[in-house]
Structures are given as C-alpha cells and as structure tokens.
C-alpha cells in the first residue's frame, strides 16, 4: 500500500538510499583500513551520482567489531558484511594489538585499531563467540576493562554466539534479556541475565544473537534499526540473503535428538568451564 502519488516519493527515497548504499563500499574501505591499502580507492563501477540527493541516507556511526584469539570468524564477518554497507559508518576491527588475530579454525584477520586507540564514543561494540578462546576472553582483564569502558559510551553493546558470555563476564548483561549459542544460553543466568530463546534479542542498550550464523540476522536487524526498512531491504538483496539450508538441523527443535545429545556431550567441558568462570565473576 502506498500513499497517493507515493510511488515517485518512494522511488526518490530508494534512489538516494541505494546510491548511498553503494557509495558505502568505497567509504568503508577507505576508512577501515586506515588508508594502508591499495584497495582503498573509489570503485569506478559504482554510479554514485544520486548520493548527494539525499544526505539523510548517510550516517556517521562508529562500529567496533572485537577480535580476540580463538574467535569464530563467521561470528564477526556475518555482521561485518551487513554493517559495512552502512553509508558513512566507520567499521573498526579492534584487538589488543595490530597483529593478525587467529580465529578458532585458523584464518587470521588483521585488526584496524587497538583497544587503546579505539574511539571512545561508539555506536555499537560487537563481541563474536568461540570456544576455548572465548573462555580465555572471559578472563582477560584488559578486554573486560575495554568493554566496561566503552559500555559507558556506546549506544549498544552486542554479541553473536558465545560472545554474550564475554559481555556477561564483564558484568554487562545483569538484568538484561539476552541470548547466546544454544549450548550456552542457560549459562547467561549465571551472569544475572534472563536467557531468551530468540534469534536476535534487543533489550534497551544490549543486543545479543544466537549461535554463529545468527550474526547475519543480527547484522541485518541493526541495519534496519539504524537506517530503516528500505535501506535494510537493499542490503538484504545485495547480499542475496534468501537462505536455503540444504538440511534442517539448525536448531534444537529440528535437529535429531542424537545429534543434540552428542554436541551437548562434546561441549560439556566448555559449559562447565564457563560456569566456573561465572561463579568466580559473580562471587
């Protein structure tokens, strides 16, 4: 349903929004690598002539994706894809130092800033999850201090997967509804949170996503929150986010019971360790 004569209005707004969207590639590239790369150049394949027609489609968010040794790469990169498409936003990858950070399955990502140099006034800080690397992060005083400090200034503190346990260990989920990877969700209660079985949970200035791939839904939800539905629809179409898993075992409801039981058994050590960290953290 459109307002009378609304189609033209919609088209104009979309034109500007979408032109802005593509300009964001170049902008994000230029900003987030600090100009260190030859790839940080305007993309001649993107017609950006319409951008100036609607400056309202631009933003100036400061987004911080936190990398720590042993993080799950997809937890970070799912949101990164969606958020880097925000025209005018600056997307940082923050870590202890500028050295490449190895993810839990090997590949290393290069940070763009350090905890020390990361801006203080931030829109969003997002923690990815992992397993043993995440347990270490939950006990990393420097990382926790960074999170507590930025939480005083951030519009949202967020996580994907077991990243919520790190937010919990920093004391940042007390009294909040929150979620996590299914294996860790109930553990959030140990950090004073109220575990919720939802894909993405918004509660005031906290946003938490479920396991790994929920980062895509978290990221797209944030884009919608920050720029509205039309912009987010364009990002979704650009990423052809029309998922079609070849199997149907992605949730506790759908997976075979034996698969659930075995994953629970395999991850029992992780859960136990996280519980003992919680006991220490809340003592």
Identify residues 135-174 at the interface with its own copies (CB under 8 A).
Answer: 135, 161
Interface positions, 16-45, toward its own copies (CB under 8 A): 18-19, 21-22, 25, 28-29, 31-33, 37-40, 43-45
Residue whose structure tokens are 């220490």: 280
Distance CA 53, CA 30 (A): 22
Least Å distance, CB 203 to its own copies, is 16
Interface positions, 109-138, toward its own copies (CB under 8 A): 109-110, 112, 131-133, 135
Interface positions, 230-249, toward its own copies (CB under 8 A): 230, 232-234, 236-247, 249
Interface positions, 172-211, toward its own copies (CB under 8 A): 181-182, 199-200, 210-211
91 near its own copies (CB under 8 A): yes
Adjacency order of strands within the sheet including 156-159: 113-114, 90-95, 62-66, 124-127, 156-159, 206-209, 200-203
Question: Residue 246: is it exposed, middle or buried by C-beta count within 10 angstroms (0-12/13-18/19+)?
Answer: exposed
For 38, the token pair is 């030859």
Distance CA 57, CA 47 (A): 16
Among 150, 178, 221, 281, binds its own copies (CB under 8 A): 221
Distance CA 59, CA 88 (A): 5
Least Å distance, CB 141 to its own copies, is 18
5 near its own copies (CB under 8 A): no
Q: Give a three-class secondary structure readout of 210-233.
A: CCCCHHHHHHHHHHHHHHCHHHHH
Interface positions, 43-62, toward its own copies (CB under 8 A): 43-47
Span from 54-62, 139-147, 168-176, 268-276 in contact with its own copies (CB under 8 A): 268-276
Among 61, 104, 140, 190, binds its own copies (CB under 8 A): 104
Cβ–Cβ under 8 Å, residues 29 and 40: yes
Which residue lies nearer to its own copies by CB, 45 or 152?
A: 45
80 near its own copies (CB under 8 A): yes
Q: Report which of 193, 123, 203 is spatially closest to residue 164, judged by C-alpha positions.
A: 193
Which residue lies nearer to its own copies by CB, 73 or 188?
A: 73
What is the rounded (10 degree) CA torsion for 206, 99, 72, 241? 80
Least Å distance, CB 276 to its own copies, is 12
**From the candidates 161, 166, 188, 222, which is the catalytic residue?**
161
Least Å distance, CB 269 to its own copies, is 4
Q: Is residue 161 among the annotated active site residues?
A: yes
Enumerate residues 6+ apart whose C-beta is below 8 A from 26: 41, 42, 43, 46, 48
User: Which residues participate in catalysis according to the annotation?
Assistant: 161
């Amino acid at each position: 349903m459109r307002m009378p004569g609304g189609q033209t209005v919609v088209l104009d707004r979309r034109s500007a929004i979408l032109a802005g969207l593509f300009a964001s590639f170049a902008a994000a590239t230029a900003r987030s690598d600090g100009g260190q790369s030859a790839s940080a150049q305007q993309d001649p394949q993107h017609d950006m002539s319409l951008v100036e027609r609607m400056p309202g489609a631009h933003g100036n968010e400061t987004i911080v994706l936190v990398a720590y040794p042993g993080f799950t790469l997809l937890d970070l990169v799912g949101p990164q894809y969606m958020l880097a498409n925000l025209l005018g936003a600056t997307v940082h990858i923050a870590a202890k130092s500028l050295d490449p950070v190895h993810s839990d399955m090997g590949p290393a990502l290069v940070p763009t800033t350090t905890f020390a140099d990361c801006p203080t006034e931030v829109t969003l800080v997002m923690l990815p999850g992992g397993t043993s690397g995440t347990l270490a992060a939950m006990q990393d005083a420097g990382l926790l201090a960074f999170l507590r400090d930025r939480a005083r200034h951030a519009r949202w503190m967020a996580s994907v997967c077991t990243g919520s346990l790190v937010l919990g260990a920093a004391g940042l989920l007390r009294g909040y509804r929150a979620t996590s990877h299914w294996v860790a969700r109930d553990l959030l209660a140990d950090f004073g949170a109220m575990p919720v079985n939802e894909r993405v949970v918004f509660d005031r200035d906290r946003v938490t996503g479920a396991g790994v791939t929920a980062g895509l839904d978290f990221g797209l939800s944030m884009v919608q929150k920050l720029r509205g539905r039309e912009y987010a629809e364009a990002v979704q179409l650009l990423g052809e986010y029309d998922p079609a898993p070849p199997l149907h075992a992605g949730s506790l409801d759908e997976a075979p019971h034996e698969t659930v039981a075995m994953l629970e058994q395999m991850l029992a050590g992780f859960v136990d360790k996280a519980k003992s960290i919680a006991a220490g953290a809340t003592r």
